[in-house]
Amino acid sequence: MNLTTPDTTLPGTPKTRTPRASKPDATPAIAPGVASVTQLTAKLAEYLSPTELKKVKEAYRFSDEMHLGQVRKSGEPYISHPIAVAEICADWKLDAQAIMAALLHDVMEDQDVKKDELIERFGAQVATLVDGLSKLEKIEFQSLIEAQAENFRKMLLAMASDVRVILIKLADRLHNMRTLEHMTDAKKRRIASETMEVYVPIAHRLGLNNIYRELQDLAFSHLYPVRYRTLAKAVKAARGNRREVVKKILESVKGTLANAGLEAEVYGREKTLYGIYKKMRSKRLSFSQVLDVYGFRVVVDNFANCYVALGTLHGLYKPMPGKFKDYIAIRKLNGYQSLHTTLIGPYGTPVEFQIRTQEMHRTAESGVAAHWLYKNGDSNLSDLQQRTHAWLQSLLDIQQQTGDSAEFLEHVKVDLFPDSVYVFTPKSKIIALPRGATALDFAYTIHTGIGDHTVAVKINHEAATLRTELRNGDIIEIVTDPNSRPSPTWLAFVRTGKARSAIRHHLRTINLNESVELGQELLAQALTALNIRPDLPAPTIEKLLNESSANTMDELYADIGIGKRMAALVARHIFGLIDDELVSVPSTQHASPGELDPVTIYGAEGVAVQLAPCCLPIPGDQVIGQLRRDQGLIVHTHDCVAAKRTRAKEPDRWIPVQWGQEVNRRFDCRIRLLINNEKGILARVAAEIGESDANISYVGMDEDDEHVMTQLRFTIQVKDRVHLAHLIRNLRGVAGVTRVERERN
């Protein structure tokens, strides 16, 4: 994904500065007219004071001067783009500072105007907004991806302190997407892909549904132009065929609501092309099979009449079972409220209805921009603004716990996932989480400290595992222990960015020494395999740190120890930096990666080394290790099915490991027994396990239909394979036990 803005203008000759290059511009199927300052002034005059309007005109004149001589690839003067962005912001009735920032949003990036100059001319707030919208082009990054991630991180953090930043940025992106046609096909796809991946979910998260839908369709038209045109043609043909059906439904609904004494606006709406396309893809339907291309919206005067209208419509047409959703009682994460129901209309056609009030309708269309007020305290904010503020604040929390920009971007993109699940605390407070979130995600959503110390969870008053996926309506109760700490295995199932960043932050800081030691050992082995002495001289270390973006060797070792960097790749990088005298033998005699000395493990290394829960290796087993990002070294048995499957996909992440000679602890192991279902059998088995010097940490039982044979499952703690073999032999001698075996995977 590319988060840079491409060059789309031709050079010009301004009065004072030479413009460098301008930003991407885009074009829709129907190109809009060129924006004019007259239209913008007319819109602003409706709600800004004369003093504010004067300041906006000053910003316009300055921007016009800076962009003088610059033109877009379409041939329009470049100033038309900032004016168009400001017009979109004016439609939301954003304040004068935001409009000024919209007009000036490219002067720092394109014309090298300094922030201090903007502060002097237009004030600190306007300058800060423009700075948040400008890219970090002066900084050199290790890679394009890193630069993109850092640009996006900067924008989101600026948004966290002032949401106007992202509103202006979305207006900027919308106009660029509307005018994308003059770009090359490759740039169209790249910009459209970035829009779909980043800006569409942000618009949805902020409740800006009009922009969300338009950006989706515009991105779809440039990513899949043939599919877009084909589908547009099919929808146009279907309009004529379905016009009578739509007219009949409208007349029936309006008449029925009027007879019920309800004042309501009723109108049909056509689903977006991307929405139709997505439904065809997800449900594997042809266009002719997508019956609900049209939906209807009913807007009533007050909250109570939403439910009255719902009952009236259910009396007119039969509702489809399972197709009713109440987003009024439990609103969506972005503040959206409506009643959704699907009815069987004339000719058996399913018809979707959305029922809402005027206030809900404004929020549904414009989201956080629908209630544009800047207050001094959270108590004065609308509910939607408070929700948005809480999400933006979570971005700052993630930033504080995140090591680099790419990781920050990864976490935020996870939280932009549009679908949500709604659960309750024991005190009936509603918590919204991404679809697929687990009980542990819930704990971290409440507070990072609660998540870090979580040991157990109850869902609907029954014990459940931390990895249990939550469902709508679940009541969650978290059990904590002040001595508990996060486990690297948690990263395998948490869903939210906040949980992932908090766990990774803990693993990086609390368990740093263990990770450093493991990373040092792994790098030494990788260097030895290349016949390079591990004791690197100071000049080589300095070069390595400069090129790896690590501050110290301990930081580099820790990254290797938690799997964030590959020891073999770092070793090869060092090989390109070293002098010949550091190589102990000619390079033609270098060992292959398969000849690395095994890493010795003792099972007590802490979180830097984890025993895989799928196969539960114990001393004496043949083992192999997997370096997993931010989880360190995961040890599997050599015949583990899960390990074989993963090893085939990522062979470079696997290294040889071996057990140490002196292991002074016990290890979990699973065994399965087939027994006759008779009185006292469980007591005899448990007693034999105890007499064999093994501990029981879990027991489960499965009966057959006739209740003749029973299968017992134990998780026991043993010293090694010899101890396990002795235990299995003893269990086979217990009366009533017909089979005993170790359970794997």
User: Is it the case that residue 289 has pLDDT exceeding 80?
Assistant: no
**Per-residue CA distances from 194 to 152, 256, 510 (Å):** 11, 46, 36
Per DSSP, what are the bridge partners of residue 269? 295
- The DSSP output letter for 675 is E
* SS3 call for 38: helix
Mean pLDDT within 237-252:
76
Nearest CA-CA partner of 261 in 305, 297, 303: 305
**pLDDT value of position 31:** 37
For 223, list phi and psi in degrees, rounded to 5. Answer: -75, -40
Output the CA torsion 689→692→695→700 (10° steps).
-20
Dist CA 141 CA 491 (whole Å): 28
3-state secondary structure 625-653: EEEECCCEEEEEECCCHHHHHHHHHCHHH
How confident is the prediction for the chain on average, in pLDDT? 77
* pLDDT at position 33: 47
Query: Residue for token digits 């192991």?
Result: 669
Structural domain range at position 164: 9-222
Percent of the chain with pLDDT over 70: 75
**pLDDT class for 407, splitting at 50, 70, 90?**
low
- In a shared domain, residues 550 and 490: no
Q: Which CATH number belongs to the domain containing residue 102 in this structure?
A: 1.10.3210.10
Tokens of 331: 């609103």
Number of domains in the chain: 5
Pairing of strands 623-628, 462-464: unpaired
| pLDDT confidence bin for 440, thresholds 50/70/90 | very high
Distance from C-alpha of 162 to C-alpha of 627, rounded to nearest angstrom: 40
More confident residue, 287 or 183: 183
Same structural domain, 654 and 685: no
Length of the chain, please?
A: 745
On whether both 35 and 71 belong to a single domain, the answer is yes
Co-location of 362 and 479 in the same domain: no
What is the phi/psi pair of residue 71, to 5°? -130, 155
Q: For 359-401, give the DSSP string.
A: HHHHHHHHGGGGG----SSGGGS-HHHHHHHHHHHHHHHHHHH
**What is the reported pLDDT for 12?**
35
Domain contains 606: yes
User: What is the reported pLDDT for 589?
Assistant: 42
Condensed to tens digits (0 to 9), the pLDDT of residues 633-663 reads 788 998 898 888 888 877 877 878 888 877 7
Q: Are residues 294 and 282 in the same domain?
A: yes
Could you tell me which of 417, 257, 416, 420 has the C-alpha nearest to residue 325?
Answer: 420
Would you say residue 377 lies in a domain? no
Q: Which of 471, 506, 541 is the last residue of a domain?
A: 506
Model confidence pTM above 0.85: no
DSSP string, 170-207: HHHHHHHHHB-TTS-HHHHHHHHHHIIIIIHHHHHHTT
User: Are 491 and 474 within one domain?
Assistant: yes
Does 287 or 732 have the greater pLDDT score?
732
Instruction: Over range 50-58, report the average pLDDT.
Output: 91
Residue 323 belongs to domain with CATH number = 3.30.460.10
Does residue 380 lie in a domain region?
no
What residues are labeled active site?
A: 109-110
Taking only the tens place, the pLDDT of each residue in 381-399 is 455 555 555 655 555 555 5
pLDDT-wise least confident of 136-140, 493-497, 703-707: 136-140
Question: In this structure, are 98 and 43 located in the same domain?
Answer: yes
Q: Is the pLDDT of residue 32 over 60?
A: no
In a domain, 206, yes or no: yes
Distances (CA, A) of 584 to 523, 580, 581: 16, 9, 7
Are 623 and 718 in the same domain? no
Query: Higher confidence at residue 355 or residue 362?
Result: 355
Q: Are 599 and 658 in contact (CB under 8 A)?
A: yes
pLDDT tens readout for residues 530-582: 788 888 888 888 888 877 667 788 888 887 776 667 677 678 678 767 755 45
Question: Is the domain of 334 the same as that of 405?
Answer: no
pLDDT at 23 > cutoff 60: no
**Residue 16 one-letter amino acid:** T
DSSP 597: P
